[in-house]
A and B are shown apart, each in its own frame.
Chain A
Amino acid sequence: MKPLLYIFVGILLLSLTIVYYKFDPEMYSFFPECPFHKYLHLDCPGCGSQRAIHSLLNLHFYQAMDYNLLLVLSLPLLMLHGVSKIYHRLTGLGNGLKFWYYPKTPVIIATIVILFWIVRNLPFMPFKFLAA
């Protein structure tokens, strides 16, 4: 059962990657819009992620940062996490990244996310870059 699930998720992720590589969510309407943005007309911390992924897959890094800076900045950390998890799974050595379990880590992350959420909705210049 488990391997089948992994294969299914793998195929799903691969096809999503191809769709997000080929189609720009800015141009096509079949990408879902964030409900928070649709009804409140404000950006949430995840708004712009689909466009940012499209830009990243096409190697437009500056464009991706313009759509969602938080996503781009968190990617190296998430990749490091993924690599250490895979290493742990394959070799049995190590135990993933320890700093996720430091008492301060979630506080810092929550602060960054909430600050980002507030600041990206401010309508004047230094912060306009952060809007999706």
Chain B
Amino acid sequence: MEEQKPNQQAPFGQQPFNQQPFGQQGFGNPIPKNWLVESILVTLFCCLPLGIAGIINATSVNTKYAAGDYSGALAASQAAGKWTKIGFFIGIGIFVLYILFFVVLGVGGAMMGSN
């Protein structure tokens, strides 16, 4: 059984999870960011099902890490980040375009009205 050394522990004193099997690769690496909260926010506010892709990738971050597959968890983390960011920027883009369109229409309408 491997003993946990202080310098192998995750930062901020977080213990790797209890269900982590002993002696597997990746042991002691902190779990990569799973983007779960961000993907929930994208799902709820950006109005795009892309957030769900983020949530599903967050699932594989957590399960792969718990199974000791650190590199798999890292890849899933990057995929989750990618989908969440795409969803976020598409959401922001649509919002800004819509506001711009409305402003242009409003200014145009005001000019037409004044003529």
Contacts and interface: CB of A to CB of B under 8 A. Distances in A.
B45 to A, nearest CB: 6
Interface in A102-132: 102-103, 105-107, 109-110, 113-114, 117
Contacts of A44: 47-49
Given A103-B19, A103-B62, A110 B52 contact: yes
B36 A109 contact: yes
B63 interface: yes
A100 interface: yes
A81 B95 contact: no
Contacts of A37: 47
Contacts of A70: 44
A71 interface: yes
A65 interface: no
B62 A102 contact: yes
B107 interface: no
B79 interface: no
Contact of B48 (A36, A74, A100, A102): A36
A78 interface: yes
A101 interface: yes
Given A35-B94, A95-B12, A103-B19, A78 B41 contact: yes
- CB-based closest 3 A-B pairs: A32-B98, A34-B47, A106-B59
Interface string A29-64: 110101111000000111101000000000000000
Nearest to A85: B37
A32 B93 CA distance: 11
A36 B66 CA distance: 35
A126 to B, nearest CB: 22
A105 B62 contact: yes
Interface string B1-42: 000000000001110010100000000000100101100110
B43 interface: yes
Nearest to B95: A32
A26 B51 CA distance: 25
A120 to B, nearest CB: 13
B99 A30 contact: yes
Contacts of A92: 12
Given A107-B59, A110-B56, A102 B17 contact: yes
